[in-house]
Amino acid sequence: MTADDDPIRTAQEERAAAGLHRALSDTSEEWPVHLDAATWVATTSRRRSVVARLPVGLAAALIVVLLGVVAISARPAATGPSASPASPTSRPGHFDNVTFSFDYPASWRTLSGLYYEGLANTVDIVIGTGAWQTGCYSYSGGGGCTGDKVNVSGGRVVVKIYRRTGGPIPACDAGPTLNSTLGSNAVLEATAGSVTTWEIAQPSAQFGSPDNVFVEAHTDGPAGLASAEALVGSFRWAPGASNPGYCAPMDTPPPSPSPSLAHYDADNISFDYPASWPIITGYQHWGIHGPTIEFAVGTGMADTGCTLIPPAGGSDGGGVSCGSPTIAATGDQVVVVWYEGAGLGVAPLPARSLASGETRVTIGGMPAIESRGTGWIRWQVSGSSYIEGRWGSNASAGESQVQALVASLRIAPPAKVSEAP
């Protein structure tokens, strides 16, 4: 289309468009709607050939009608009373049924919602990464429960959260007392094979009382158990929740505060560790004939086994003598070390077959092979690189401290060095 085809407006059309623009501007302050005023007014071609113009009175009437339509369509729809939120609510990473709430890994699936195990238990939710099937059944003549069917092979985990609704009420001066503390909760912990259960008593209630919450974790490795422990640590009763019909355990002390943590951040490696632990050493590199230490923290011993050989006769010579590294912890000591064997470079983690007792895991975003024994746990993160934790026979929390440190481990990519132009 040429320039002669561009539409132009007469003086009357210009005044009508300006009036419409002012009216729409006033209306948009209450109901913001984006309209082009010019598109609602008839225009005349520059060629002034065959054209149809709306009379000014008809255009004004059309403007009034259109403004009414815009006002009605832009007005917010009337809303009724807000609906109450569904109970319980569950979204990836969080569960809340009004009475209590907790957090869990967002990668876990919901395996079952609320159901009842006869008259004994109310199961609020079953979550995790493994396979699960209830052992409860029903038929025309009745029903029963024969135990859940659970598969957590390959490092998977299944966690069932339920409440005890049947059974006698324990006496105020009887019943078990807490044997563990997780987060702000004093809990009663029991382990049978690969199943760990924590009982969380209601405020002002005795362990063993009805409506206490049980967290039953089926795990196939320490990572799953650590995730279940974190779930229990995040458990919170709703404000005002209580069981005033039952007295509290007489010898239950208040939960001890979480130990203070220190933060390590050097050479692109960061993690949290107990503030009472000293840093034994940061990065050490002993050349192609000795090991490399990325870090060592804890109350135990960590030594590369290397010493410097001074030059003979004051010359510029000298060297390094390396034996075997020492990593040890006795009594209540704990130590965590990241070390690499002698040589140049770091070979990738070999794609080898796993030995008995080894599992494949991820540490700080890196694939690793995990192995463990009495008083120690080791992760191989490359062909010659290992993270190892050791604890003495009296370090009751040693393994969990090592696991917590490694779970917080983060490996940042090396910073890019800008090149001069």
Listed by start position, the domains of the chain span: 3-74, 89-237, 261-411
**Average pLDDT, stretch 341-370?**
81
Q: What is the mean pLDDT of residues 242-251?
A: 50
**Confidence tier at 113 by pLDDT (50, 70, 90):** confident
Domain 261-411: give its CATH code.
Answer: 3.40.1000
Query: What is the DSSP-derived secondary structure letter of residue 6?
Result: S
Decide if pLDDT at 117 tops 50: yes
114 versus 17: the higher-pLDDT residue is 114
Phi, psi of 345 (to 5 degrees): 75, 175
Q: Give every strand in the sheet of 269-274, ordered side by side.
A: 261-266, 269-274, 410-411
Which of 265 and 313 is assigned the larger pLDDT? 265
6-54 pLDDT, tens digit per residue, is 556 666 667 766 766 666 566 555 555 444 444 444 444 444 444 445 4
Q: What does the pLDDT look like over 124-167, one tens digit per residue?
A: 999 999 999 887 766 666 666 777 899 999 999 999 999 877 65
Q: Nearest-CA neighbor of 167 among 212, 232, 135?
A: 212
The pTM is what?
Answer: 0.40
Task: Indicate the pLDDT class of residue 418, thresholds 50, 70 and 90.
Answer: very low
Domains 89-237 and 261-411 share a fold: yes
Beta bridge partners of 389: 336, 377
How far lies 22's CA from each of 26, 29, 63, 236, in Å? 6, 11, 12, 57
Contact predicate 288/384, CB 8 Å: no
Please, which contacts does 29-33 make with residues 24 or more away whose CB atoms are closer than 8 Å? 31/70, 31/71, 31/74, 31/75, 32/74, 33/70, 33/73, 33/74
E strand or H helix that includes residue 154: none
Q: Which CATH architecture has domain 89-237?
A: 3-Layer(aba) Sandwich (3.40)
> What percentage of residues in the chain have a pLDDT greater than 70?
62
Residue 90 CB partners (closer than 8 Å, separation 6+): 96, 110, 113, 125
Q: What is the pLDDT of residue 29?
A: 55
DSSP letter string over 284-332? EE--TTS-EEEEEEESSEEE--EEEEPPGGG-S--EEEE---EEE--TT
HSE, side-chain direction, 13 A CA sphere, residue 373: 4
* CA-wise closest residue to 206 among 184, 176, 232: 176
Amino acid, single-letter form, for residue 79:
T
The H or E element containing residue 185 is strand 185-192
Peptide bond before 88: cis, by omega within 30 degrees of 0? yes
Q: Each residue of 397-416: pLDDT tens digit?
A: 899 999 999 999 998 765 54
Q: Are 365 and 406 in contact (CB under 8 A)?
A: no
pLDDT at 168: 59
Indicate the DSSP class of residue 57: H
Do 379 and 363 contact (CB within 8 A), yes or no? yes
What is residue 39's DSSP assignment? Answer: G
State the pLDDT confidence band at 78, using cuts at 50, 70 and 90: very low
Please list the residues that pair with 58 across neighbouring strands. Answer: none
Could you give the percent of the chain with pLDDT greater than 90? Answer: 31
